[in-house]
Amino acid sequence: MSTTTGQPPLVQAGRLKRSVGFYGLMMVSLGSIIGSGWLLGALNAAERAGPASVLSWMLAAGMLSLLALVYAELGATYPVAGGPARFPYYSHGAVAGFTAGWASWLQAVFIAPLEVLAAITYVNSVGWVNQHFNMIYKVGENAGLLNGSGLFVAIVLMVLFTLMNLAGAKFLSDSNIIVVIWKTAVPVLAVGVVAALQFKPANFRAGGGFMPFGFHGVFAALTGGVVFGLQGFEQAVHLAGEARNPRRDLSRAILTAMLIGAVLYALLQIVMIGGLNPAHIVKDWSRPLGPDPSDYGVWYTLALALGAGWLAKILLIDAVISPAGTGVVYLATTARLSYALGEEREMPGALATTRKGVPVVSIITAAVVGLAAFGPFKSWNGLVSVVTAATAIMYSFAPLSLAALHKADRGRSRSYRVPMPRLVLPAAFCSANLIMYWGGFETNWKLALAILAGLTLFAIGAWRMRTGAWRTVGNAVWMGPWLGGHVVLGWLGRYGGGRNILPNWVDVGVVIAFALVIFSWATSLRLSAEDSAVEVAKDAGQIDYQAATRA
């Protein structure tokens, strides 16, 4: 087993303000869950799975709830900024820790521009805007992409998100509470109004029956917007270093947000299917809104069709507020991940500095990279698959880290514990791996290359700074077969460019078996108790926040 260097980081990170309470933490997670996903997810899921898309949301809620339990314990026990990027450092050392942080950073850094693109797309559908201030190319090879006006608006919105984050976590959480209340109220209103005006149970048997595409459709819908819609519950963990009482509030905040989001999304799917015009789904589910669907989205179309024009106007306003609110939160998340990565000597130390308790350099870095994303990715669809795949990799590290820390750091006080950890932790890891597999071959091989590129940058930093991080390669040797194995499984599989060699259900069994082998192997390669204590001690100022406050 490899050992860590035992050297303290050269950078003494600035101390973050602990000013965020339970409601602020819960609203940060809930605000991340309720973004552009609720406006787009139900329709995309129905097109892939028909009425059985309801099962997709239930399955996703169950799988992600297992991961939410894991994050609840990790966040409450180790309340540090950018926690998902730090936990693997404690359990497996620098190489695995950086990889988890890099995956977390990749998924987070693109969500703010992703939500900006969603907001612009919806606003551009308004007739007056489309005619007088069009922001998206209509024809040609760039059709559907931002034009010059759209790029200008996107930059303005990203600058606004940055200024809100520079105001500090307390301002962010307090202002976010107002936004999240709106974001939650509007879909609840849409569910109530549409269900009251029209709900046809027969729609759940139309277009080939309840499950027209079988379970293949149910699984395909997960990566077609369902998982993306529900992800984000872990955002409170990123702000754990700024929570007033993380051991009391963090686990409750995460689980409460996950429960509200899961119930709301399931209701949205059910009501949307019941509210459709039966004539549009008689034969199949390829065009649930009819031959000429509105550019405003499914809920706007339903509201107009049912005569609720006032609701349609509210939905247009929400089409800006929901994505924008999520974008603000994820810019904050990216900054906290940069802050966490900057605490290691292999990365620029300026990322871990603060000014008046605010990680200014990390926030500006996140904004600049987010702006750069508008170059290669000028459409919402161009970013979604990348974000979902990177999220699944990030999620996979959490149960591995917690299982390892239960043994390497078993004496630590824990205000919340995962129930039945011997069952829940491997099940959570398998859930994340199945999401990776269902994402498809085309996405997984590209993301594996992105991870390799990040590790190359890390290796250069470790060599230049002579940190000795190479000594933890043995603790991370399982990552190569794991990511490489997923590329092979994706090629053999039935999703996203796979060769369809593995039969239905056999592929699921193979992925689960593969994940369990990796879980057992990776857990056995954890750091020793002494080396883990060295890594945890680097964040002692945040973890032992009560003692630090008294001092």
What is the residue type of 9?
P
Residues 6+ apart with CB under 8 A from 460: none
Burial class (CB in 10 A: 0-12, 13-18, 19+), 48: buried
The pLDDT assigned to 63 comes to 93
Measure Cα distances from 233 to 64, 66, 255, 409 in Å: 9, 12, 8, 25
* Token reading at 385: 């698959």
Residues 6+ apart with CB under 8 A from 130: 124
Place of tokens 């170059």: 375
The pLDDT assigned to 377 comes to 64
The pLDDT assigned to 15 comes to 52
Q: How many residues in total does the chain contain?
A: 551
Q: Are 415 and 455 in contact (CB under 8 A)?
A: no
What is the residue type of 347?
M
The pLDDT assigned to 396 comes to 96
**CA dihedral sign, ordered 396, 398, 402, 408:** positive
What is the residue type of 424?
V
Options 1.10.472.10, 3.30.70.120, 1.20.1740.10, 3.40.605.10; which CATH number does 22-535 get?
1.20.1740.10
Query: Which stretches of the chain drop beneath a pLDDT of 70?
Result: 1-19, 82, 125-127, 144, 164-177, 238-241, 292-297, 329, 333, 336-337, 340-341, 343-344, 346-349, 351-352, 354, 356-358, 375-382, 545-551
CA distance linking residue 321 with residue 361, whole number of Å = 27
Residues 6+ apart with CB under 8 A from 219: 56, 438, 495, 508
What is the residue type of 331?
L
The pLDDT assigned to 132 comes to 83
